[in-house]
Structure 1
Amino acid sequence: MSPASEDAVPVPPSPSPRPWGSYIVRVLVVAACYYLGARLGLLQALVNDQVTPLWPPTGVAVLALLVGGLRLWPGVSLGALVVNASLSDLPSVLAICAGNTLAPVAACLLLRRAGFRLELDRTRDAMALVLLGALAGMAVSATIGSAALLASGVVGGDRFWSTWAVWWTGDALGVLVLVPLALALRSPRWRRPAVRRWVEAAALVGSLTVVMLIATTTDVRLMYLVYPFLIWAALRFQHLGTAPCALIATTLAARGAAMSTGPFAGMDLLVRMVGLQAYNGTAVLTALLLSTVIAERNAARAAIERTVEQLTEVVGRYQPAPLGDLLPPRRPEGP
């Protein structure tokens, strides 16, 4: 060993990143995901190139706040600010950003108040997500955003309610289609399914997609045909099946409403949005409730089976003595 190596001072280990550094990274990740979702949602904008019937960033925001905590709200604000910066004047941008931030925060607070669990394994969780997280919480952003556009003169008073309906529909739909899917994929109970299960899943998704493409492009009222597929998905795959199927059904329905085709043809904008919201809410609520009920039934059955196994082990440990050992010995008979 050389003298230089003997006198060398050992290099101390690199310090662990500070907590605020990790926090900033997560905030930036939320903002980036929000921005990417917004770019996809703006492809179908119906009002002023910024109000769309499907707004994925709300799902991103609600999911980030549910999983990462409310302290990630700056990421939502930053993403909303970047998205809306080039679309309107500064006061409107700030108001829209405030509404886009307050709505997910209000949704998360309502869900916490209702005792919402991320596993989505109870009926009350499904109802809370639809009624509180999507429909009630997203009314905040729709109201603030539509009022900002009205105050800035972007939309007239005669278009306020139609704008509000499109805004509310898009924000609520973003929560309904993305949050259940992400929660279903977040902690799935993966198994090694047989090939026939993969074939069945592919047949389910493919047939549902074909039916929805036909239903949203033809004048014949066929939207109700989605429900047998949602029931099929819930019975066979629970949340891992209903979440993708609900995403496909609601996304294609929103596309038909945006293009005014199929059952949405010839309707006023407000009527289209009300019909779309009624359809999406009913479809997602049906899928979530049915899959949750089946998950609860499976959990109850598994608990009963475990109890039976435990009782069987206890009974096996304390087997009673044979009847012959309990009887008194027989006296020998005389001659």
Structure 2
Amino acid sequence: MQLPMRGRVALPSHPIALAVVAFVSYAVAVELYYLAFGLADALTPVATFFPPAGLALTLFLGSPYSRWPVVVGAIWGAEVTVDVLHGVAFWDCALWGVANTVEPMVAAVLLWGFIRPEGRNNIASTRHLMAFLGSAVLAGPAVGALIALPSAPAGDLETLTGFWSRWWIGDGIGVLVVTPLLLILGNSRPRERSWGAPWLALVTVLSAITLGPAQPVAHGRGAYLLLPTLVWIAFRASPLTSAAAVFIVGLSANLATLAGVGPFVEPGRPYVGQANAQIFIGTVAFSALLVVVLSANLIQRDKVELVVRHQARTDVLTGIGNRRMLFDRLDGFRSTHALQAGDPIAFLLLDLDDFKRVNDRFGHAAGDLVLKTIADRLVMATRSDETVVRFGGDEFLLCLTKSCSPDQVRALSGRLSAVVAEPIAIGTESVQVVASIGVAEGLWGDFNPDEFLRRADEEMYSAKRRPLPGTSFRSPGGS
């Protein structure tokens, strides 16, 4: 799962512009949180997670160290401004601002410390994912909750512990739900797959059913029907779609619990309902994120294997197949029964006569150009179902199947000799090379690759001994 961790989020580089973006975005997030909280029933004055915590971490991860003071000032100012406007005491506002700036800084420093520099731009493995969970979801919020502890209501140790744990878990889940989505959205790289609107529509409908007022299954168990849906989306859709789906589920559970409806509400025991909702959100978010990482790794491994397999079967210089590709294709004919006993098959082994003279006169770069040109001509002169490979050095081999009667093979051999002999421009001169071609024909039922190659090689050397014109060089206008 490519979750950018540094230098990928599209944040302004100018300090003033960065300060404005950070201040406005964080202030809006906190104000939206207050609006949602204001809609809650008086018996449930708690929220399951704090989305601005995820935004704050994203702002730090997307900014270089030199701009962190700007981000700190913007977040602290936004926190204090919005809290004061909602009637919170200035001392508490100032303390919350410190907590909500130190918290993401600690998370970002720890995260970059655990992940090697070359892997800081993404969570590409389960190791990186665990570093993200430990640093950003657990450690950072724990420090922030400790800083904010003096603002807790006066009470005994249980009251202080409850305040600290609610802050810690609420901010941690906010990071887990919000940060992946924001980081992927800010990724400047082109995305391989789109949003996946049908998936998000499905998640929205299921969230309304399983997290709404009408509960077909008691004690919140029905909400966990969303888990297999999120896991399926993580396998089938893009990381962006999966992160958006997790955000929809988490936000739905948060708003439903705040409004006093849904499977997690416990009348008269608001903090029990909050804890149940947090367990649910944390479980589905972590499960989906883990599946996204694992599936992305599997997809990446498949891509690497395909590239390696292609490279192993492709001639590096000319781009056509090599000896291994030829024998793989022959094995494919055998395993798929694409050829039956009695079907004709033929090898044409082509060697460039006196090719060494090209390298001696013009250099190896010119020799490579000649080989690539000849390879392109051979491909253009054959059908798509005919195999053309560079067999080694200045030798090429064509494998013909199905419609390859002796007359057709002879006609193709003559056509190949003609296209090979066409002049090739090298600087102010041109070169003509002549090919000797050896042919081995037979039937698939009697086919033996080694025997065919031996026969084609003998025919090729017999062709070389015939009186044919050699390699020649000439200027474009000369003779």
Following TM superposition, by how much is the alpha carbon of 1:52 offset from its aligned partner in structure 2, in angstroms?
3.8
Q: 1:59 aligns with which of 48, 54, 63?
A: 54
Structure 1 residues 162-177: aligned runs within 5 Å: 162-177=162-177
CA distance in 1 between counterparts of 2:227 and 2:46 reads 29
Distance change >3 Å, CA 43–CA 168, structure 1 → 2: farther
Task: Assess if the C-alpha contact under 8 Å between 2:224 and 2:280 holds in 1.
Answer: no
Is structure 2 residue 22 aligned with structure 1 residue 30? yes
- Higher mean Cα deviation, 271-280 or 49-58? 49-58
Rounded to whole Å, the distance in 2 between the matches of 1:58 and 1:252 is: 18
Structure 1 window deviating more from structure 2 (183-192 vs 132-141): it is 183-192
Q: Conserved in 2, the CA contact under 8 Å of 1:31 and 1:75?
A: yes
Stretch deviating more after TM superposition (67-76 or 298-307): 67-76
The answer on whether the counterparts of 2:145 and 2:168 sit within 8 Å (CA) in structure 1 is yes
The 5-angstrom pairing of residues 197-208 of structure 1 reads 201-208=196-203
Q: 2:74 — aligned with what?
A: 75
Q: Compared with structure 1, are the counterparts of its residues 274 and 51 closer, same or farther at alpha carbon in structure 2 (3 Å cutoff)?
A: closer
Point out which structure has higher relative CO (alpha carbons under 8 A, 6+ apart): 1
* Inter-CA distance 192–120: structure 2 relative to 1 (3 Å threshold): closer
1:124 to 112, 124, 127: 127
Distance 2:193 2:303 in 1: 19
Aligned pair partner of 2:148 in 134, 139, 145: 145
Which has more strand, going by share of residues?
Answer: 2
Decide whether the 8 Å contact of 1:52 with 1:166 is kept in 2.
no
CA contact (8 A) 1:162 1:269 kept: no
Cα offset, 1:128, TM superposition: 2.7
- SS of alignment partner, residue 274 of structure 1: helix
Cα distance between partner residues in 1 of 2:275 and 2:174:
16
Flag the 1:107–1:205 CA change in 2: closer, same or farther, 3 A: same
Q: Does structure 1 conserve the Cα–Cα contact (< 8 Å) formed by 2:26 and 2:79?
A: yes
Alpha-carbon shift at residue 318 of structure 1 (Å): 4.0
Aligned residue in 2 for 1:305: 306
Distance (Å, rounded) in 2 between the aligned partners of 1:326 and 1:33: 74
Q: Give the drift of 1:61.
A: 1.0
Contact 2:265–2:274 (CA under 8 A) maintained in structure 1: no
Q: Compared with structure 1, are the counterparts of its residues 282 and 24 closer, same or farther at alpha carbon in structure 2 (3 Å cutoff)?
A: same
Residue 288 of structure 1 pairs with residue 419 of structure 2: no
Q: CA RMSD in A?
A: 3.0
More displaced stretch, 101-110 vs 111-120: 111-120
State the shift of 1:178 in Å: 1.8
Letter in 2 for 1:218: A
Cα distance in 1 between the residues matched to 2:296 and 2:158: 47
* Residue 132 of structure 1, CA deviation: 2.3
Matches within 5 A, 1:174-323: 174-187=174-187, 189-191=190-192, 201-216=196-211, 217-219=213-215, 220=217, 221-266=221-266, 268-314=269-315, 315=322, 316-319=389-392, 322-323=453-454
Q: Secondary structure at the match of 2:123?
A: coil
TM-score by length of 1: 0.79
Q: Deviations over 1:166-218 (max 9, x none)?
A: 4333322321222111222233543586xxxx8xx333222222222222223
More helix by share: 1
> Does the CA contact (< 8 Å) of 2:54 and 2:178 recur in 1?
yes
Once structures 1 and 2 are overlaid, which stretch shifts more, 78-87 or 240-249?
A: 78-87
User: Measured at CA, do residues 325 and 266 of structure 1 come closer, stay the same or move farther in structure 2, by a change above 3 Å?
Assistant: closer
Query: What amino acid sits opposite 1:170 in the alignment?
Result: G
1:236: Cα distance to partner?
1.4
Larger deviation: 270-279 or 23-32?
270-279
CA distance in 2, matches of 1:207, 1:310: 41
Residue in 2 that maps onto 1:5: none
Does the 8 A contact of 1:58 with 1:174 survive in 2? Answer: yes
* Partner residue, 2:113: 113
Aligned AA for 1:290? V
- Give the match's secondary structure for 2:152: helix
Distance 2:192 2:286 in 1: 27
Q: Is contact 2:46-2:270 (8 Å) kept?
A: no
- Report the count of equivalent residues: 301
Aligned partner letter, 2:282 = G
Residue 8 of structure 1 corresponds to: none
Structure 1: unaligned runs, 5 residues or longer: 1-19, 331-335
Q: Which protein shows a greater Rg?
A: 2
**What code does the residue aligned with 2:81 have?**
V
Q: Identity percentage over the alignment?
A: 25
Give 1:14's aligned residue.
Answer: none
* Alignment partners' CA distance in 1, 2:454 and 2:185: 57
Structure 1 window deviating more from structure 2 (283-292 vs 267-276): it is 267-276
Quote the offset at 1:118 in angstroms.
Answer: 3.4
1:276 Cα deviation (Å)?
2.2
**Per-residue deviation at 1:30?**
0.7
Relative to structure 1, the CA distance from residue 129 to residue 191 in structure 2 (aligned partners, 3 Å threshold; closer, same or farther) is: closer
> SS in structure 1 opposite 2:14?
helix
Distance change in 2, residues 1:192/1:97 (3 Å): closer
> CA 1:168–1:192 in 2, change beyond 3 Å: closer, same or farther?
closer
Partners of 1:65 and 1:105 within 8 A in 2: yes
What is the aligned partner in structure 1 of residue 384 from structure 2? none
Return the TM-score normalized by structure 2.
Answer: 0.57
